[in-house]
A and B are shown apart, each in its own frame.
Chain A
Amino acid sequence: MTAGQSGGARAGLFNSRSRRLASDAVLLVVAIVWLGPYAWMTITSLKTLPEITRAPAYPLPQAFQLGAYREVLQAVPVMRYFVNTVFMATAIALLQIALALPAGYALAKLRFVGRSAAFVLVLSCLLIPAQVTFVPVFTMLGSVGLVNTFGALILPFGVSALGTFLVRQALLSVPDEIIEAARMDGAGELRIIYLILGPMLRPTLSALFLFSFVFHYNDYFWPLVMTTDDQVRTLPLAIALLREQGTGVRWHLVMAGNVILSLPVLLVFAAAQRQILRAVTARI
């Protein structure tokens, strides 16, 4: 290298300034590209139909009208869909945790014949997405009369291969002595799993819960395929229908629906960003 000490120092100075400029430029682009659409969604939802027809791209609403929200709430039983969606997503997430704990415990802590085969089996199910199984599952559930029920929405996701894997990994770092001590005290396996290890795995389990909840709250594919009945349909389906129904697209209604659909998820995300990131960046 021919660059001497002073060259290096100069490079350092130059770097930090040009880097700051570059970062500021990136900040600006990001603000326009990623925050702009959200802003536009909200602005459109506060307009009235004549306003949109007259000047669709005008940046501000004349007055902040909540008419679109009122109309969406009247046209669609939003509350029922919302309750359906939250119920389904919560049930799936809880079921996944309830089943991942004992399975992860057996895979991480117990010695038995076929353990590595069982582990490979769980991992290989990660390869099989709902998009591959939905046709046979649909006909299977149809033959037992479960199509159009919450069973069809919840049961197929009862086991999460990813969740089982994450619980197993987390349990590997829990010392065996804790389990041995609990056994000495006469605790049964289920008691050890749910009441002693469960609370110790709280960070992993809450990451798993949030990730699974958000994923299934948002899911469009499975409820679309498995239900036709309004009683069990979920919010994403109802919001998507806002655009399909009736004459001409009334974008202020669609955007109001969009705000109603995404606001809860954005709030959950804002409150629990770290836990969600934990599950997303978990590597296998």
Chain B
Amino acid sequence: MKPKHPLSPYLLLLPTAAFLAVFFLIPLLLAAKNSFFTWDLLTPPRYVGLRNYEVLVGSGELAGTLLRTLGYSAVVVALSGALGLALAVALDRPGPVYAFVRGAVFSAYVVSWVAVALLWMWILDAEGLFTAALRGVGLPTMSWLGDPRSALLALAAVSVWKITGYAMVIFLAGLQDIPRALHEAAALDGAGPWRRFRHVTWPLLRPSAAFVATTSLILSFQAFDVIRVMTQGGPVKATTLFVYAIYEHVFVNLRVGRASAMIVIFFSFLLLLTVLQLWALRAGAPREGRRPS
């Protein structure tokens, strides 16, 4: 439509543009600039060129943080996606019981990370329910959050519990779009449940799967709350993922320059993941278009 006044679209967009500039774009540029300085927030910043990046790479901190973040994200994305898909297929039926159970699984996604983290700390505690249950059936147990070998895995498991409901909900929405007639036709052709899933459901769910995988990858890359509450990055840095490392540099070590270099690298990875997301969605989505008519 033609605007009533030639300037009105710009005026209507002005507040949004101003907020986005002040709180998204300028901070991003400032972080890029700060990454070339050392700054402890107290004394004036000092230009050091690429020194911050060199230290991050040279000390192995970058590689370690990246590896841990990728490992955590891989476990979270794979398990929550697979579980979410299984639950969606199993719970995609009418009736109040199923509706309640779907709601129960999804409710974990709605409750705060703080509550979830505290709850699971108590369950995983040396005196907690999980340990007691393992002991009850005679299985060995360990300090899940206190041992560097298991701490990151424990956090990943808690995160899977938290976000499986998200994956489930997206898959349920995808299932709803599959015409019932397709299933009936496949059943008439004698296809069993597994083959119907394999040849009817799954191909049509691929866009949902691409969406779930990439969004939860980006989400788990930004993990912070669960780490801050449950392990504070420990033991011996075993759970120091990207955002927690940045937080620690600023608020514990007062190294804004180092943190900013980390932010620039972190943001580059997020960009990469987004490109991956667009690619995955495109690869998954236009299957109908390619289908012979």
B47: chain A residues within 8 A (beta carbon): none
> Binary interface profile of A, 113-154, with partner B (CB < 8 Å = 1, else 0)?
001001001100101110111011111100000000000000
Q: A11-B187, A57-B128 are in contact. Are A251 and B225 (CB under 8 A)?
A: no
B12:A34 contact, CB within 8 angstroms: no
Total number of A residues with any Cβ neighbor in B under 8 Å: 99
B25: chain A residues within 8 A (beta carbon): 125, 128
Minimum CB distance partner of B97 in chain A: A27
A139: chain B residues within 8 A (beta carbon): 30, 41, 256
B27:A136 contact, CB within 8 angstroms: yes
Determine if B123 is an interface residue (Cβ-Cβ < 8 Å). yes
**When the two chains form the complex, which single residue of A254, A262, A283 contacts B112, counting CB atoms closer than 8 Å?**
A262
The docked-state distance in angstroms from the alpha carbon of A99 to that of B270 is: 26
* Distance between A147 CB and nearest chain B CB, rounded to angstroms: 11
Residues in A lying within 8 Å of B, measured CB to CB? 1, 3-4, 7-8, 11-12, 15, 18-19, 22-23, 26-27, 30-31, 33-35, 37, 40-41, 44, 52, 56-57, 99-100, 102-103, 105-107, 109-112, 115, 118, 121-122, 125, 127-129, 131-133, 135-140, 155-159, 161, 164, 176, 179-180, 183, 188-189, 193, 214, 217-221, 224-225, 236, 239-240, 242-243, 249, 251, 254-255, 257-258, 261-262, 265-266, 269-270, 273, 276-277, 280-281, 283
B112:A100 contact, CB within 8 angstroms: no
Q: A37-B123, A265-B112 are in contact. Are A103 and B23 (CB under 8 A)?
A: no
The docked-state distance in angstroms from the alpha carbon of A120 to that of B115 is: 36
A128:B115 contact, CB within 8 angstroms: no
> Binary interface profile of B, 232-269, with partner A (CB < 8 Å = 1, else 0)?
00000000000100110011000010011001001100
Determine if B8 is an interface residue (Cβ-Cβ < 8 Å). yes
Determine if B118 is an interface residue (Cβ-Cβ < 8 Å). yes
Determine if B72 is an interface residue (Cβ-Cβ < 8 Å). no
Total number of B residues with any Cβ neighbor in A under 8 Å: 93
A137:B23 contact, CB within 8 angstroms: yes
Q: Which of B13-21, B56-64, B142-150 contacts A (4 or more CB under 8 A)?
A: B13-21
Secondary structure at chain A's binding surface: helix, strand, loop or mixed? helix
In the complex, the number of residue pairs spanning A and B with C-beta atoms less than 8 Å apart equals 263
Determine if B229 is an interface residue (Cβ-Cβ < 8 Å). yes
The 6 closest A-B pairs by CB, nearest first: A3-B190, A218-B112, A57-B132, A136-B27, A136-B30, A159-B19
Contacts A12-B187, A37-B119, A128-B24 supplied; 12 other A-B pairs, CB < 8 Å: A8-B189, A11-B190, A26-B87, A106-B12, A110-B3, A110-B12, A111-B2, A122-B20, A136-B260, A159-B16, A220-B228, A276-B110
B82: chain A residues within 8 A (beta carbon): none
The docked-state distance in angstroms from the alpha carbon of A88 to that of B24 is: 20
Determine if B48 is an interface residue (Cβ-Cβ < 8 Å). no
Determine if B279 is an interface residue (Cβ-Cβ < 8 Å). no
A112:B193 contact, CB within 8 angstroms: no
**When the two chains form the complex, which single residue of B103, B165, B270 contacts A127, counting CB atoms closer than 8 Å?**
B270
The docked-state distance in angstroms from the alpha carbon of A147 to that of B168 is: 39
**When the two chains form the complex, which single residue of B2, B22, B91, B271 contacts A23, counting CB atoms closer than 8 Å?**
B91
* Distance between A117 CB and nearest chain B CB, rounded to angstroms: 11
B108: chain A residues within 8 A (beta carbon): 34
B112: chain A residues within 8 A (beta carbon): 217-220, 236, 261-262, 265
